[in-house]
Chains A and B, each alone.
Chain A
Amino acid sequence: MASSAIASSSTSFIKKNEIGLSSFTPTSFPIQRCKRRALSKKVVSVMAPPQSDRRPSTTGSVKNAMTMTEKIMARASERSQVVPGENVWVNVDVLMTHDVCGPGTIGIFKKEFGENAKVWDREKIVIIPDHYIFTSDERANRNVDILRDFCGEQNIKYFYDIKDLGNFRANPDYKGVCHVALAQEGHCRPGEVLLGTDSHTCNAGAFGQFATGIGNTDAGFVMGTGKSLLKVPPTLRFVMDGEMPSYLLAKDLILQIIGEITVAGATYKSMEFVGSTVESLTMEERMTLCNMVVEAGGKNGVVPADSTTYKYLEGKTSVEFEPVYSDDSARFLAEYRFDVSKLEPVVAKPHSPDNRALARECKDVKIDRVYIGSCTGGKTEDFLAAAKVFLASGKKVKVPTFLVPATQKVWMDLYGMEVPGSGGKTCSQIFEEAGCDTPASPSCGACLGGPRDTYARMNEPKVCVSTTNRNFPGRMGHKEGQIYLASPYTAAASALTGFVTDPREFLQ
């Protein structure tokens, strides 16, 4: 909670040269004790003891068991231990903002720190225009201009700009949807703290890091200080074991979980995903899992980093990182177990992500359109999954099917990557043969409605099956529109029949 945390801070955290432990020592006691013990009788030098990168929280010398999330927050707050409920000032590794909340964040930063103030670290702020890009809305365009001016003025290292709206490919810097771009550009790293002015920032928990969404005011504060006051969340653990059936995707798993614990079931809590099924998931699928923890009210989601994570990160980042893992005896608020091999494809019916139903139970729901896109459902593998269904059926879609790749890289994959088992076809060829709309320019698109001229926005009260993450009233544009959230398999199957359809009809 903001207030209590403020009340418990020291006075000096804003001034960079006074940060930390110089004036007050209590926090450093446990750390020093550990170091002394480690160095024991051997060291007799009068020089300052060597600085070790290994903090006590990552060594075996700490007796208090912690969860992954607790460990990350302990390290980020320079403590040996934290407990759920505690408010701590954490050092932020990366702050992300975009065109919707960036201008407001910048406004707060300037108002509070001064017109000429400098950001705390030009290399740790990542600014990604992605929400309202391909629109003639003047204010939306102006907001991207505000970002550009600020990034120029502050010499922000990572700004993924777009100037030529007529052809996104003429903008080599432009990426697209921030959460997917963060991962693809190497800004997501195990053990780190990533804050972003977007609730789906929790997506990055797939990398075994703490990532959560914050508002403009908090982001303005981070921009000036590199710090944020966070309450340590308790952790809910989700153990998913069993072989993933060929007709299921991570979207089915998270919709299953949200249906189980409701849209407020994880409020203020961390969600940790473990088990053999999770270990078998690709990074993109892990992102799908973590992306929607906020739909259960969760503060963050985490998947422990492993060889899949390291492989994905190869060549993407040169920053050193240090993963952390939950201790065996860590305390979890609750543990949920799933035998994934027994699950079936699910959807979330209007107008709530926890309004779960089996896809086959909704086979009589007639639909008007299908949307495949967004941070949670517009990644390369999401389109590969849809293509697999179209390929298996060999038929044409019966309703308009809109495809919005999350990023420029995803778009290129659709045109350049061969779909396994297709005899050399690309996704784009398969989509064309199936009668889908041509893949659009990468952005958040109609996932959240946006300006009236947004591609595929629901301007009329239609029924849509969508691979996005929210189906609140009006989410995709029209208040009376009905959105069924589903996996790319289910979305593609539904496109082929014109009804909500279990993908097993095509994938058996």
Chain B
Amino acid sequence: MAAMAAASASVSVSNNPSFPSSQKRSPLLSSSQSFIRNLRMPTTHLIKSPLKHFSLSSSSTSPLIPLCATTDTTTTTTAATAFHGVCYVLGDNIDTDQIIPAEYLTLVPSKPDEYRKLGSFALIGLPSEIYPTKFIDSGELTSKFSIIIAGDNFGCGSSREHAPVALGAAGVKAVVAESYARIFFRNSVATGEVYPLESEGRLCEECSTGDVITIELADNLLINHTTGKEYKLKPIGDAGPVIEAGGIFAYARKTGMIPTLASSSA
């Protein structure tokens, strides 16, 4: 908090009125980031915390750890630089009731078996006359589509974290939409379940379900191998490292921002 204040005091605040996002890398934030680097806690925390975290995790026996995209924060130092897969294309205003209808919200995402089940219902609320291709084949737990391409205002509606969780559990690595509803974006970052990437143009009209796609995260590039076209994406910015770490808690531990809280109470 103090670091932030100091940083903001030293940088004049811009009155840039375009906030809607996500991807903006304001001078304010990057300067405070470098500031915080100097304030970081002793490096021992970097090593200690994930171990503690793991030994206490009730789900550590499961190979699938909910809300943790990457499994080991100590060794994951390189970014997930690229995603390769088949895409599923959606239109505008895909709301959370379509992503995971309310009747499945009794499933608790923090319980590993229910996490997997949530994945099997991802996008089951889509109207079948508009989206004749099933996102998940009958009897499957995950989807063969690992990239979602959508239009404006993806994830609008409810605050249910089950939405990004269901997509992540179904095997989705990234969503590429023109824009996002606020809570969905935030929940994606906080959980680290999926990368909510923003496209420069209207990719949902340029790509078709089934196209083979590569996303080069570092270059902010989407390549459609089926059509042979390439598209610029907006940079994910500061949200990237958080998702890469596996969510807001994992990131905070990885960077030594929060101590190993669990240890004190164990």
Contacts and interface: CB of A to CB of B under 8 A. Distances in A.
B7 to A, nearest CB: 6
Interface string B1-37: 1111111110001111101111010101100110110
A178 B6 CA distance: 39
B261 A473 contact: no
A240 interface: no
Interface in A21-56: 21, 23-27
Contact of A108 (B39, B110, B185, B186): B110
Contact of A111 (B58, B157, B162, B180): B58
Contact of A87 (B29, B39, B153): B29
A96 to B, nearest CB: 11
A18 B67 CA distance: 28
A116 to B, nearest CB: 5
A14 interface: yes
Contacts of B6: 24, 26-27
Contacts of A345: none
Contact of A86 (B13, B109, B110, B190): B13
Interface stretch (A1-9, A161-169, A308-316, A382-390): A1-9
Contacts of B19: 84-85, 231, 233-234, 268-269
A213 B259 contact: no
Contact of B159 (A139, A214, A449): A214
Given A7-B238, A470-B157, A143 B106 contact: yes
A9 B257 contact: yes
Given A217-B248, A218-B186, A474-B101, A6 B257 contact: yes
B57 interface: yes
B187 A7 contact: no
Contacts of B56: 111, 114-115
Interface stretch (B73-81, B90-98, B133-141): B90-98
Nearest to A233: B19
B1 A9 contact: yes
B240 to A, nearest CB: 7
A310 B138 CA distance: 56
A213 B15 CA distance: 26
Nearest to B35: A8
B107 interface: yes
Contacts of B126: 473
A498 interface: no
Interface string A259-288: 000011001110000000000000000000
A407 interface: no
B239 interface: yes
Given A1-B186, A101-B161, A112 B102 contact: no
A6 to B, nearest CB: 6
B182 interface: yes
B103 A451 contact: yes
A101 to B, nearest CB: 7
B47 interface: no
A404 interface: no
A475 B5 CA distance: 43
A107 B109 contact: yes
B258 interface: yes
B2 A221 contact: no
A233 B19 CA distance: 8
A198 B96 CA distance: 12
A304 B24 CA distance: 31
Given A116-B265, A472-B97, A11 B257 contact: yes
Nearest to B34: A7
B260 to A, nearest CB: 9
B127 interface: yes
Interface residues of A, number: 93
B174 to A, nearest CB: 16
B127 A452 contact: no
B5 A14 contact: no
Contacts of B160: 100-101, 215
Nearest to A229: B248
B15 A217 contact: no
A505 B256 CA distance: 65
A128 interface: no
Given A89-B1, A116-B265, A268-B19, A7 B249 contact: no
Contact of A472 (B17, B33, B95): B95
B180 to A, nearest CB: 8
Contacts of A115: 56, 58, 265-266
A252 B182 CA distance: 25
Contacts of A9: 1, 3-4, 36, 257
Contact of B190 (A132, A218, A448): A218
18 contacts: A2-B239, A3-B242, A8-B3, A14-B261, A20-B1, A26-B2, A26-B5, A77-B1, A89-B4, A111-B58, A113-B261, A114-B265, A146-B108, A215-B191, A264-B153, A264-B179, A473-B127, A474-B101
Q: Which 10 A-B pairs have the closest CB atoms?
A: A107-B110, A24-B2, A213-B159, A215-B161, A27-B5, A215-B187, A114-B262, A114-B265, A3-B242, A4-B238
Interface of A: 1-4, 6-11, 13-15, 20-21, 23-27, 77-79, 83-89, 100-101, 103-104, 106-108, 110-118, 131-132, 137, 139-140, 143, 146, 197-199, 201, 213-218, 220-221, 224, 231, 233-234, 263-264, 267-269, 294, 297, 299, 331, 333, 352, 448-452, 470, 472-475, 477, 479-480
Given A199-B157, A263-B153, 19 more contacts: A2-B186, A9-B1, A9-B4, A11-B40, A89-B1, A103-B110, A104-B108, A110-B58, A113-B261, A114-B262, A213-B159, A213-B183, A224-B261, A449-B101, A451-B103, A473-B125, A473-B126, A474-B101, A474-B125
Interface of B: 1-9, 13-17, 19-22, 24, 26, 28-29, 32-33, 35-36, 39-41, 56-59, 67, 93, 95, 97-98, 101-103, 105-111, 125-128, 152-153, 156-162, 179-183, 185-187, 189-191, 237-243, 247-249, 251-252, 255-259, 261-266
